Structure 1
Amino acid sequence: MEKLDELRDLIEEIESESENSFRDEMVRSIYIEAEKIAQKAVKNNKVNNINLDSKIDDLLTSKLTGFPIMFILLGVVFWITIVGSNYPSEMLANFLFNIEEKLTNLFISINAPNWIYEVLVLGIYRTLAWVVAVMLPPMAIFFPCFTLLEDLGYLPRVAFNLDKLFKKCGAHGKQSLTMCMGFGCNAAGVMACRIIDSPRERLIAMITNSFVPCNGRFPLLIALSSIFIVASSKYETILSALFVSFLILIGIAVTLISSWILSKTMLKGIPSSFTLELPPYRRPQVGKILYTSLIDRTIFVLARAVLVAAPAGLIIWILANTHIGGISILSHAATFLDPFAKAIGLDGFIIMAFILGLPANEIVIPILIMSYMSEGAMLELDSLDAMKELFIANGWTYLTALNVMLFSLLHFPCGTTLWTIRKESGSFKWTAVSAIMPTLIGIVVCFTLTQIVNLFGLL
């Protein structure tokens, strides 16, 4: 009976592939015939522009040069985001923490109970301040860069290059576009999955979108790569951008592999055909770029993140300030998780930081610093060197830093993204899969790397 089912599936697959091949061939022949008719009937005064577009396409979609150019552009965008967001983030953090000082003075002047001050200011407000200060500048830089490439007509070329890879994985070629959108924010990437008509392929795209890091994870990846991987180099910024780009390639590879696994298991099916007409290159519309990137994407995503982060600040404060036997609940939980964490190259406080960072990835590092310094409120050190010294004092090695980066890349999506998946899919089941599957992959990758390094004594 099982062999009969396998034979039936094979026949259906062959029939579907034949149908798709016939459809692709038919579309191709229609376009060829239309081009012949157009050449006979239409006089075009922009032949030089067409030839130039064709030459650029030959370069951008070539098997030889297409992927290297994609990688270089990706690195450039990240470098611009890293360099450009440093000063605005610092200025915004100073501004928001100035407001915190004024709020502190206000609570003192009205003789408010200390616990109310700590809950509202040190808990909720400080969490929100970190989320806004860390998220807003990178999004305000990345989204316009991304929208510029979209408006120029380059993103359809990216989809063209990646289409075959996603199709071989049983997914849709348009998933490459939604994946690119996830670099700015995974929640925005999930929303972009609406462009995929097939419900099955749309679900695959939503579940795997978190494997590309959003701007909330960039600060952690950039900081750790700067202080552990490429430290003390005069080309630190460039090398950090290259290393983060390398991590992103790992994320893309995991996206493809997990898409293939899903298409062969829980979301079985044949990939639908995808005929992509490459649009002509055009001058970018500055007004449209600014509106789309800053209003439709940046502000919308930031608003959702703030709504999710506010209650997180309250929970973090309660766990860090409620003591049992003289030890905070946060420390008790970290001690309980420590044996499991050590097996995957982390520690209990790191695992707790990721769990408590569910509402927003931006707060993982501040929570970790707070835990190591036994403080009752989120904080951040004033330099990367001070952060490195604190981490090393708490047992970190290069392997720990690498595992933290890999787990950050592969673990469950943030609360905003999960909320968006629930809204878009209308299903708690697929929302749970979207959280569990990446986490299991992150655990397996970190465990495997740790055991290999320990077995061969590589560190």
Structure 2
Amino acid sequence: MSTISNRKIPVLRELEPLLPANEAGIKDRIVSSIYQQAEAICSQAVRTEKLSVDLDARLDSILTSRWLGFPIMLVLLALILWITVTGANYPSQLLASGLFWIEEQLIDLFIAWGAPPWLYGVMILGMYRTLAWVVSVMLPPMAIFFPLFTLLEDLGYLPRVAFNMDNLFRRTGAHGKQCLTMCMGFGCNAAGITSCRIIDSPRERLIAILTNTFSVCNGRFPTLIALATIFMSALVAPAYSSMLATLTVVGIIMTGILITLLVSYLLSRTLLRGTPSFFVLELPPFRKPQLGQIIIRSLLDRTLFVLGRAVVIAAPAGALTWILANSFVGDLSVFTHLANWLDPLGQIMGMDGIILVAFLLGLPANEIVLPIIIMGYMSVGSMLELDSIGALRTLLLDHGWTWLTALCVMLFSLLHFPCGTTLYTIFKETHSARWTVIAALLPLALGILATLLINRGAGLIRL
């Protein structure tokens, strides 16, 4: 159990029923006494603005309200994603047009030099084209999303999110601080795994580690946004397309949170039984945003860092994908053989073999799953230059995609094995190959089950 306190907000009494009456009362009195003494000392030593303190208390009474806390969280999340979806379309198209124009010049240059087709195939059609897609699709959404998310962090709102989520995590038998590690996982799952060190209990720390992959990380946001924009927005009138795309991404995020709570509950009552710990979380005062720090942290420390990692990983992955798609055994490429072998499983999951191969080859980073899908389709089908979202829509539709396919891919993107960096981090944190394997197989099993059920349910509705 956790007790959460602010300078002028009393310890929450609605948490007491979760503990024995005498234990809850003792802990509340101890915490209240500590903060009262700290406030008395602070008031004598430091001159504070009463207006600022009262304003913080009034804001907290709204943002952490039992009835308004969660709606405000959802509205802010939806607003950030809506701004990201609507604002990233044109820059993404413009960037893609420029990068694919460079691709044409590079191909002409390789041909003028007399380079063999396999060389510019690997270098340009494999590595460069994948890089161009990663940059054009990932950079604009991240350049919008990260500053907005960092702004909320700099304002001091994220601890209020942890406050609102704390009670839910405690009810699942997990540690209240798990909501903080979950929020960190929205940036990077590997960073979220590392942040689980703030949880003292080994049992509860392990629950947080095993469930952190259900937080939608930076590498999955561009794929979710692109597919929601292409397919979900087409289901309604153009005036409501951005809204539906935004709600779809929000729905995937909320699904991840619900699955985090459900799996935490099951683990705490099966493999990792135990009693939840007690801790105190202090809500910091609201702060005036530092625009310079926001720009540096969001664009340099986050956007360019994630993009750089994706580029480094995407380049060899793009080359490998092109080689597999253009190396033949008999009449079929190695990539096609793999895709055909996985296609029966992919079909009953609402996808296809190429999509499953892309997830396997995308183990180094979630950022490159969609580019590998594109490379797979382009290697076995028409060589389409993806200079816009419309071109991507055409490519996917030509290969049988529907809104149901997109939904299954988005859901499987949420529920599949963690990326290689995250798995390595899990092993370093747990020092256990067993728990690392469980961390990989648990979400994968849930992803297969969830897509099977959705595809089967949609098939029954059509019948």
Residue 362 of structure 1: aligned partner: 367
Return the letter of the residue paired with 1:253.
L
Q: Which amino acid aligns with 2:64?
A: T
1:444 partnered with 2:449: yes
1:272 — aligned with what? Answer: 277
Q: Offset of 1:35 from its aligned partner?
A: 6.8
Residue 257 (structure 1) aligns with: 262
Query: Alpha-carbon deviations, 1:237-278, whole Å to 9, x = none?
Result: 122112211221111101111122233334343332221111
Inter-partner Cα distance in structure 2 for 1:188 and 1:91: 32
Deviation at residue 169 of structure 1 after TM alignment: 1.9
Alpha-carbon offset, residue 438 of structure 1: 1.0
Look up the match of 1:294.
Answer: 299
* Compared CA separation, residues 26 and 367, structure 1 to 2 (3 A): same
Following superposition, the deviation at residue 52 of structure 1 comes to: 1.4
Match of 1:131 in 2: 134
The answer to whether the Cα contact below 8 Å between 1:211 and 1:255 also exists between their aligned partners in 2 is: yes
How far has the Cα of 1:409 moved from its partner? 1.8
Change (3 A) 1:202 1:106: farther
With 39-48 and 189-198 compared, the bigger mean Cα shift is at 39-48
Greater CA deviation, 154-163 or 188-197? Answer: 188-197
> Structure 1: which 5+ runs fail to align?
1-14
Deviation digits for residues 419-440 of structure 1 (CA, Å, limit 9, x no counterpart): 4434444444333322211111
8 Å CA contact 1:369–1:380 kept in 2: the answer is no
1:357 and 1:40 map into 2 onto residues whose CA distance is 56
2:83 is the counterpart of 1:61: no
Inter-partner Cα distance in structure 1 for 2:107 and 2:170: 56
Q: 2:141–2:222: 8 Å Cα contact kept in structure 1?
A: no
Cα distance 1:191–1:124, how it changes in 2: closer, same or farther (>3 A)? farther
* CA-CA distance at 1:340 after TM superposition: 1.7
State which drifts further: 257-266 or 182-191: 182-191
Shift of 1:18: 8.5
**SS of structure 1 residue aligned to 2:255:** helix
Answer yes or no: is the 8 Å Cα contact 2:318–2:372 preserved in 1. Answer: no
Q: Deviations over 1:395-443 (max 9, x none)?
A: 4444333222211221222334334434444444333322211111011
Whole-angstrom distance in 1 between the partners of 2:57 and 2:72: 16
Match of 1:219 among 218, 222, 238: 222
Match of 1:347 in 2: 352
Normalising by the residue count of structure 1, what TM-score does the alignment of the two structures yield? 0.85
Question: Is 1:320–1:328's contact at 8 Å kept on the other side of the alignment?
Answer: yes
Cα drift, residue 236 of structure 1: 1.4
The correspondence of residues 133-212 of structure 1 with structure 2, limited to 5 A, is: 133-212=136-215
Distance verdict in 2 for CA 1:37–1:74, change over 3 Å: same
SS of 1:230 mapped into structure 2: helix
* 1:421-436 alignment, distance < 5 Å: 421-436=426-441
Please give the TM-score of this superposition, normalised by the length of structure 2.
0.85
Q: Percent identity?
A: 56
Query: Within the alignment, does 1:112 sit opposite 2:110 as a pair?
Result: no
Give, as a single letter, the amino acid of the residue that structure 1 aligns with 2:51: N
Shift of 1:145: 1.8
Shift of 1:162: 0.5
Task: State the SS of the aligned residue for 1:272.
Answer: coil
State the 1:379 CA deviation.
Answer: 6.0
Which residue type is aligned with residue 229 of structure 1? M
Aligned partner of 1:400 in structure 2 is 405
Per the TM alignment, residue 375 of structure 1 is displaced from its structure 2 partner at its CA by 4.2
User: How big is the shift at 1:118?
Assistant: 1.9
Cα distance in 2, alignment partners of residues 370 and 226 from structure 1: 20
- Secondary structure, in 3 states, of the residue corresponding to 1:275? strand
Q: SS at the partner of 1:276?
A: strand
Aligned residue in 1 for 2:12: none
Measured after TM superposition, the shift of residue 77 of structure 1 is 1.3
Q: What's 2:4 paired with?
A: none
- The one-letter code of the counterpart of 1:317 is W
Deviates more, 1:153-162 or 1:93-102: 93-102
Deviations along 1:356-377, one digit per CA (max 9) or x if unpaired, are 2323333333333443444489
Task: Tell me if 1:321 matches 2:363.
Answer: no
Q: Could you tell me which amino acid in structure 2 is paired with residue 155 of structure 1?
A: L
| Conserved 8 A contact 2:225-2:245 | yes
Q: Partner amino acid for 1:339?
A: P
Give how far 1:209 is off: 2.0
Task: Tell me how far apart the structure 2 counterparts of residues 93 and 416 of structure 1 sit (CA, whole Å).
Answer: 28
Amino acid across the alignment from 2:50: V
The equivalences for 1:219-258 within 5 A come to 219-231=222-234, 232-258=237-263
Range 280-289 or range 412-421, more displaced: 412-421
Secondary structure, aligned partner of 2:216: coil
Give the partner amino acid of 1:251: G
Q: How many Å separate the matches in 2 of 1:249 and 1:183?
A: 12
- 8 Å CA contact 2:341, 2:353 repeated in 1: yes
1:83 corresponds, among 83, 86, 107, to 86
Do the aligned residues in 2 keep the contact of 1:305 with 1:359 (CA within 8 Å)? Answer: no
Alpha-carbon distance change, 395 to 110 in structure 1, aligned in 2, over 3 angstroms: closer
CA distance in 1, matches of 2:291, 2:440: 37
Q: CA deviation at 1:78?
A: 1.1
- Residue 109 of structure 1 deviates from its aligned partner by 4.1
Q: How far did residue 319 of structure 1 move? A: 1.2
Larger mean Cα displacement after TM superposition, 35-44 or 113-122: 35-44
User: How far did 1:155 drift?
Assistant: 0.8
Encode CA deviations 1:12-50: one digit per residue, 9 max, x unaligned. Answer: xxx997897467324433246427846995796622222
Per mean C-alpha deviation after superposition, the further-off stretch among 250-259 and 23-32 is 23-32
Structure 2: distance between partners of 1:160 and 1:276: 8
